[in-house]
Amino acid sequence: MDCKPIGTVHTPFETTGEAPKQGIHEAATGVVELDPAYRAGLDGFDGDRVVVVWWADRADRSVLTLDRDESRGVFTSRSPARPNPICVTTCGVDEVDTDAGRLYVRGVDMADDSPVLDLKVPVDVRTDL
Amino acid sequence: MDCKPIGTVHTPFETTGEAPKQGIHEAATGVVELDPAYRAGLDGFDGDRVVVVWWADRADRSVLTLDRDESRGVFTSRSPARPNPICVTTCGVDEVDTDAGRLYVRGVDMADDSPVLDLKVPVDVRTDL
């Protein structure tokens, strides 16, 4: 399955090690910047939260058990190190610039310049989709 | 970015059209079956919920706006039809068979036999990861 990045997320965290474990506990802000080809996908966005699906491009994909406890598998965690390093972070939305394809968000936990694969509304936002 | 399926999810929904929009509103049960190479990743799993990251392999990847409202982009929805058809469903866990690599789950909304890309614990489960 070939995933194409739809954009990039800019955050204050230069490395994976600097990034917090879960953005939801943090106030750090960042910007999701969509590539021009995908900007139309943001039209009409008016939610106050967004689910950012991103790719932990610096993560070790070979691990199946946790470093700190080898009796536990990676699927019992949210560590980015996993066979498919797809991470899911729900962020608050401060501002949307649909023309520029930019979402200004709060609660980021991505390393700077991580590729973004998808944006969604949270499941608890009532939609008919 | 090349994603490798870690397994498959079996559900009562033969087609995408039969699958509910959001599993969280449904009681349908299913089984996540991991491929043998990834079963160790499930060791020690004891949560009562799991985030299933799956690939909507029958979805149209070319759409950027919603069928029912062309003024709204796909990133304002959770429709499986999107550039990277990565879907995220939080399911209840009824039973775990780590030896067989099987998770028996509730609240499924995947079409039967959809490829599974990842399993995680929900973010509100307190972990130190």
Whether residue A120 lies within 8 A of chain B, CB to CB, comes out as yes
Pick A68 or B62 by higher pLDDT.
B62
CA distance B119 to A46: 29
Q: Give me the mean pLDDT over the A101-116 stretch.
A: 96
Pick from B25, B39, B42, B7: nearest CA to B114: B7
Closest approach of B67 to chain A, Cα-based (Å)? 11
Nearest chain B Cα to A127, which residue?
B77
Residue B24, pLDDT score: 61
pLDDT in tens, B63-72: 999 988 889 9
* pLDDT(A15) > 70: yes
CB A10 within 8 A of CB A94: no
Q: Give me the mean pLDDT over the B18-31 stretch.
A: 78
Nearest CB among B38, B41, B127 relative to A78 is that of: B127
Pick from A99, A107, A85: nearest CA to A11: A107
Nearest CB among B55, B76, B121 relative to A44 is that of: B76
Residue B72, pLDDT score: 94
The fraction of chain B above a pLDDT of 90, given in percent, is 79
Residue B126, pLDDT score: 44
Count the helices and strands in chain A (H runs, E runs). 0, 8
pLDDT in tens, A82-106: 999 999 999 999 999 999 999 999 9
* pLDDT(A109) > 90: yes
- What ipTM was assigned to the predicted interfaces of this complex? 0.92
- Best of B76, B114, B119 to disrupt the A interface by mutation (most A CBs within 10 Å)? B76
CA B87 vs. chain centroid, Å, equals 6
pLDDT in tens, A16-67: 778 887 656 668 999 999 999 999 999 999 999 999 999 999 999 999 999 8
Closest approach of A99 to chain B, Cα-based (Å)? 13
Closest approach of B63 to chain A, Cα-based (Å)? 8
Whether residue B77 lies within 8 A of chain A, CB to CB, comes out as yes
Domains in chain A: ranges and CATH: 7-120 (2.40.30.70)
Helix (H, G, I), strand (E, B) or coil at A37: helix
Whether residue A41 lies within 8 A of chain B, CB to CB, comes out as yes
- Residue indicated by tokens 């490395």: A15
Nearest chain A Cα to B96, which residue?
A76
CA distance B78 to A122: 8
Q: Give me the mean pLDDT over the B81-105 stretch.
A: 96
Q: Give me the mean pLDDT over the B51-76 stretch.
A: 94
Nearest CB among A3, A41, A66 relative to B75 is that of: A41
* pLDDT(B129) > 50: no
- Other Cβ atoms less than 10 A from the Cβ of B68: the count is 10
Residue B61, pLDDT score: 96
Q: Give me the mean pLDDT over the B101-105 stretch.
A: 97
Asked if A120 lies within 8 A of B3 by C-beta distance, the reply is no
Asked if A5 lies within 8 A of B1 by C-beta distance, the reply is yes
Whether residue A1 lies within 8 A of chain B, CB to CB, comes out as yes
Asked if A73 lies within 8 A of B44 by C-beta distance, the reply is yes
Residue B4, pLDDT score: 96
Asked if A73 lies within 8 A of B129 by C-beta distance, the reply is no
